[in-house]
Amino acid sequence: MIYDIEYETLPREALEAIQLRRLRSTLERVYATVPFYRRRFDQEKVKPSDVATLQDLAKIPFTTKQDLRDNYPYGMFAVPMDNVVRIHSSSGTTGQPTVVGYTARDIDTWAALMARSLCAGGATRRDIIHNAYGYGLFTGGLGVHYGAEKLGASVIPVSGGNTKRQVMIMKDFGPTILTATPSYALQLAEVAEEIGVSFKDLKFRFGIFGAEPWSENMRTEIEAKLNLTAVDIYGLSEVMGPGVACECHEAKKGAHIFEDHFIPEIIDPKTAEILPYGAEGELVFTSITKEAFPVIRYRTRDITSLNAEPCICGRTHVRMNKVSGRTDDMLIIRGVNLFPSQIESVLMEVDGVEPHYQLVVEREGNLDVLTVMVEVNERLFSDRVRQLQELEKKLTQNIKDYFGVSAQVKLVEPKAIVRSEGKAVRVIDNRKK
C-alpha cells in the first residue's frame, strides 16, 4: 500500500517542479531569518534568487555538523521560539550535541512522512506496532510513534530496554510490526530464546529497522531469527529524524527518499564534486518543507549511492542504497579504508558466526593493529578447539582477501560482546588515547 499515492508516485517532471518551487522559497526564508546562512551565502557571493533551476543548487554552499555545533543550541532556527513546539537533540556521542526544533506544522509533516515509511515497510492501520526505539531526545521513538498514530495503527510505546518485559509484551499483546535498531532487534531475539519464547509463535509480519548502518547479510540473519520481513528505514535528527527515506517491502532494495520534502545529492567526500546516480559518495540533503530547522546542503557523512531505476512498488522517488558506512566511523588501517559494515558483511558469510562483533584498533609502535572480536554460536563453541582455530583462520583469510588488511580474529563465547539497547558500539579505537 502507498500512503500518499499522489505525491509518492509523481512523474519526474511534476516532482521537480514542486522541488524547485519549495527549494526557492526555503532559500529565501533561511537567507532572511538565519544569520548563519545569510553570512555564508554573502561570503560565497550567492543569493537565493541565483537559483533558477534545480542544478543551480550546486552554487549554494554546504552545511556541516560543525556549523550546527557552532550555532548551538538555537542559532540555526528559522522561526521564533514561540513557534517551536518540540526540541530534539543528537546523542553527542562524538562531540557536542546538536539541537533541532519543530513547529506544529513540522510535526505534522514528520508524522505524515513516518506514516508513508511505515506503510512502505508493510504496515497498515490494522497493525499493532511494537516500537522499541528509544523515546526521549533521540528522534527514533517519538518519530515512529506519531507516524503510527497518523497511519491509524495501534502503537505500543515500549521504548528501549527492559528486554525481558518486552518479550512478555510481544507474546501477550500480539504486535505485528517491530520497529527498533537492527542490533536491538537481535537482542530481543536472543533474550526471547533464553526465556523460551520462539519468534515463530509470535505474530510479527514486518520489522522496520534503522538508525545504524547494517549489511544485507545482517538482514538475512534478522529475517531468519525473527521470522519476519525486514526493511531499512533512514533518517537523522539534523534532517528531520526517521522517515527521510524508507525501503518498500515489495523490492527491499534501497530506501525511497521522499523527494517532495528532501533533495538528495551524492558528493565526493574529499573534493565535494557532485557525483552521478549509481556512484558511491557522501549523501547530502536539502530540506524543502521544514519551517523551524531547515538544512541547506547538509553533509550527512553517510556513504551510499542513489538508484533512479523504476521500482516495482510504483513509487517514483529515487532510492538510496544501504548506507555502507559513515565518513566519521571509517577506519583507516594501514592506509586501507574500512567500514564496520563491510567487515560485518564478510563475517556473516561464514557459518557458525553470530551477528555480534566489535572492532578494536590499537597502535603498536607505528603499526595499526585491528582485532575483530566475533561471537560464535553455542553449538560451535562447545566443539573442539581445533574447529575454532580453523574458523579463526578462515575469517582472518577472508578479511585479508576482501580488504587486503591483516586482522587478528578473536572468537569469543556467545553473549560475550556487550549488547546495546540503542545503537550498537561497533568500533573501539584506542589509537587516539
State in angstroms the smallest separation of the CB of 246 from Zn ion: 9
Q: How far apart are CA 382 and CA 87, in angstroms?
A: 50
Of 18-26, 216-224, 310-318, 365-373, the segment contacting Zn ion by CB under 5 A is 310-318
| CA proximity to 330, closest of 229, 192, 427, 233 | 427
Backbone angles phi, psi at 244, to 5 degrees: -70, -35
Least Å distance, CB 10 to Zn ion, is 14
In angstroms, the CA 95 to CA 11 distance is 42
Between 225 and 315, CB nearer to Zn ion? 315
Minimum CB distance to Zn ion, residue 242 (Å) = 18
For the segment 50-89, give every residue that binds Zn ion (CB under 5 A).
Answer: none
Stretch that binds Zn ion, among 206-214, 240-248, 259-267, 385-393 (CB under 5 A): 240-248
User: Least distance (Å) from Zn ion to the CB of residue 217?
Assistant: 21
- Sign of the torsion formed by the C-alpha atoms of 241, 247, 253 and 258: negative
User: Are the beta carbons of 348 and 217 closer than 8 angstroms?
Assistant: yes
Report the alpha-carbon distance of residue 186 to residue 223 in Å, rounded.
10
Confirm or reject binding of residue 313 to Zn ion (CB under 5 A). yes
Measured from the CB atom, the residue of 142 and 245 that comes closer to Zn ion is 245
> 58, 137, 191, 251: which one contacts Zn ion (CB under 5 A)?
251
Proportion of the chain in helix, strand, coil states, percent, rounded to 5:
35, 25, 40
Cell of 9: 508516485
Measured from the CB atom, the residue of 223 and 349 that comes closer to Zn ion is 223
Size of the site for Zn ion (CB under 5 A): 5
Report CA 373 to chain centroid distance, whole Å: 24
Which region among 157-165, 206-214, 248-256, 323-331 touches Zn ion (by CB under 5 A)?
Answer: 248-256
DSSP string, 222-244: HHHHHTSEEEEEEEETTTTEEEE
Rule CB under 5 A: say whether 248 interacts with Zn ion: yes
**Is 306 or 311 the residue whose CB approaches Zn ion more closely?**
311
Q: Does 255 bind Zn ion (CB under 5 A)?
A: no
| Site for Zn ion contains 2 (CB under 5 A) | no
> What whole-number distance in Å separates Cα of residue 87 and Cα of residue 377?
42
Q: Cβ 257 to Zn ion, closest distance in Å? A: 11
Judged by CB under 5 A, which of 15, 78, 202, 311 binds Zn ion? Answer: 311
**Which chain residues interact with Zn ion by CB under 5 A?**
248, 251, 311, 313, 315
